A and B are shown apart, each in its own frame.
Chain A
């Protein structure tokens, strides 16, 4: 090895080390202090599609009109048994039969929100560390760091993220984590009239989890994607989830 080659290699090595140090994804996140202390249970058969959760969420977070952090999906079952996702504004103004494609045998309401995944794809793809996992384990978004690239919006398997047109930065449900840490439930859970949404702290404080959840019968949305979503559903459409 001559001098020139040595210098070249040293320069390359220094540049590489600097990049590795600079890139957010390469820095190590410390292990969380303990297991995630909260649970969120959704019981779709109880949902009546009133949209109180969606309106409460908008008022709590002052979301851009037309964008929602949480929403309700209404799936229609047609007389021949075929399932069709019915168009709506996420349930914010309630639902109306006027927009149905035809007569329905029945329909199902499924409340949706951020799953606060244990291995969140949005955090993995964020190039600037704006989507991050807080010391308690919440998946949060730093609006001051976000550059609005939209990678997290594409990466989220649950379509829970969107770009806020006001700031141009990413926005998503955080289970009202500020409220949760104060010991009060998220706004959507507070507003739900039927108990289709339930939230609490593990270990007996506050609301008790529903029987189906404590007996381990909770379902996860699209578990095959290995993001390990934390919202537990009591019942889901075939194809939407597996235990």
Chain B
């Protein structure tokens, strides 16, 4: 092999390496998301985006201003440990000052009550009063000749007899 030819090949190899490196750098700048690596091996903007997520549950204190009476009764009755939003659903949006409050509050009906008050193995009796089922509860009340049973049956809602805000 002549000396000139060998030099040419070395130059060609070096050029190929340079082109490859430039291509890799170019590809990296195109593929790398913005703010990647600013704070660590991740997209730094992601932390900011996740932090900006609004709080949908506002907490029971935020209900007091408008629903003072319900809040006062609730706050010293049996259900005082249960947050408003545990039954009524998330109300952060509802409580915003700049929009009309949503009137359609979520109420799960009897099933909502039964999530806590259904008698199941392992649920501590001391912590929460429990019934086997709504039917069994009605039968028990009929046996006691409870005067409201007939009317309660026509409505068949727990809250007809047991106001959740007023329960002792």
Contacts and interface: CB of A to CB of B under 8 A. Distances in A.
Interface of A: 3, 7, 10-11, 14, 18, 22, 24-30, 45-46, 48-52, 55-56, 59-60, 74, 76, 93-97, 100, 104, 106-109, 129-130, 132-135, 140, 142, 144-145, 174, 176-179, 181-182, 184, 187, 190-191, 193-195
B116 A25 contact: no
5 contacts: A60-B90, A95-B118, A106-B121, A190-B59, A190-B85
Summarize A's interface: helix, strand, loop or mixed.
mixed
A140 B47 contact: yes
A104 B47 contact: no
Contact of B28 (A22, A49, A94, A132): A22
Contacts of B6: 3
B89 interface: yes
A163 to B, nearest CB: 18
A106 B41 contact: no
Nearest to A136: B47
Contacts of B123: 48-49, 95, 107, 109
Interface in B17-41: 17, 20-21, 24, 28, 33, 36-37, 39-41
Contacts of B13: 7
Interface of B: 6, 10, 13-14, 17, 20-21, 24, 28, 33, 36-37, 39-43, 46-47, 50-57, 59, 79, 81-83, 85-86, 89-90, 111, 114-116, 118-124, 127-128
Nearest to A130: B42
B89 to A, nearest CB: 6
A38 to B, nearest CB: 14
Nearest to B62: A184
Contact of B17 (A7, A104, A193): A7
Contact of B39 (A11, A59, A100, A135): A135
A24 B41 contact: yes
B122 A50 contact: no
Contacts of B42: 24, 129-130, 132, 142, 145
**Interface-centre pick from A3, A55, A181 (highest chain B CB count, 10 A):** A55
Nearest to A30: B40
**Interface-centre pick from A56, A93, A135 (highest chain B CB count, 10 A):** A56
Contacts of B52: 178
A176 B90 CA distance: 14
A96 B83 CA distance: 23
A109 B124 CA distance: 10
Nearest to B46: A142
